[in-house]
Chain A
Amino acid sequence: GAGVSQSPSNKVTEKGKDVELRCDPISGHTALYWYRQSLGQGLEFLIYFQGNSAPDKSGLPSDRFSAERTGGSVSTLTIQRTQQEDSAVYLCASSSGQGYYGYTFGSGTRLTVV
């Protein structure tokens, strides 16, 4: 597509439930990133996929968080047993290479855990 598409745009879930967030990157972009944007905290790196290489999961805050990328395209970020501190905007970005080329961000999924 023309841009990075994320769904849903908003998600309200009850504490303890699992959620899945989806990202459709720009066609042909080999690199895909997930970031979390919390109020007053800026953007926090979560995970990075590059082609068929093993992802860099170093930013995932706990083992409740996981992500996969199928066929080098669509990615799903899963949060299990959600907690209130998980409430944030989750941003996906894709790039044709290193960030030097500039990431293209999606509009994000606003997650609210109640």
Chain B
Amino acid sequence: GNSVTQMEGPVTLSEEAFLTINCTYTATGYPSLFWYVQYPGEGLQLLLKATKADDKGSNKGFEATYRKETTSFHLEKGSVQVSDSAVYFCAYEGAGSYQLTFGKGTKLSVIP
């Protein structure tokens, strides 16, 4: 069946470190891919998205490239800040579907 697998946390980084959170998916066709972020005490927010192969989504210094050949959508940021501490969820929506399937989330803690 369709699924999303993302690296397990928690991840702890020092400020200004490089961040990678891996995400791979199993789906047929050409899904749309998303990263959502949940800051402490808040609801989920859309961070970035990509809707076709080789698209790069970007926002707030975060980037992710839709790689169909490896069915991946890894999240990266060159220099994390304390304010990036949150839980990050990878998700996809199948073509013609209306339902997001989420990974289990990766908790990121950035220390000064």
Contact = CB atoms under 8 A, between A and B. Distances in A.
B105 A99 contact: no
A103 B102 CA distance: 13
Interface string A17-52: 000000000000001010100001111010010100
Q: Chain B interface residue count: which class? A: 20 to 34
B27 to A, nearest CB: 13
Contact of B42 (A31, A41, A107): A107
A56 B98 CA distance: 10
B83 interface: no
8 contacts: A31-B98, A40-B104, A98-B93, A99-B98, A102-B46, A103-B46, A105-B43, A107-B42
Contacts of A98: 93, 97-98
A45 B93 CA distance: 12
A38 B68 CA distance: 30
A42 B104 contact: yes
A106 B101 contact: no
Contacts of B91: 99
Nearest to A100: B32
B99 A42 contact: no
Given A91-B43, A91-B44, A102-B49, A43 B102 contact: yes
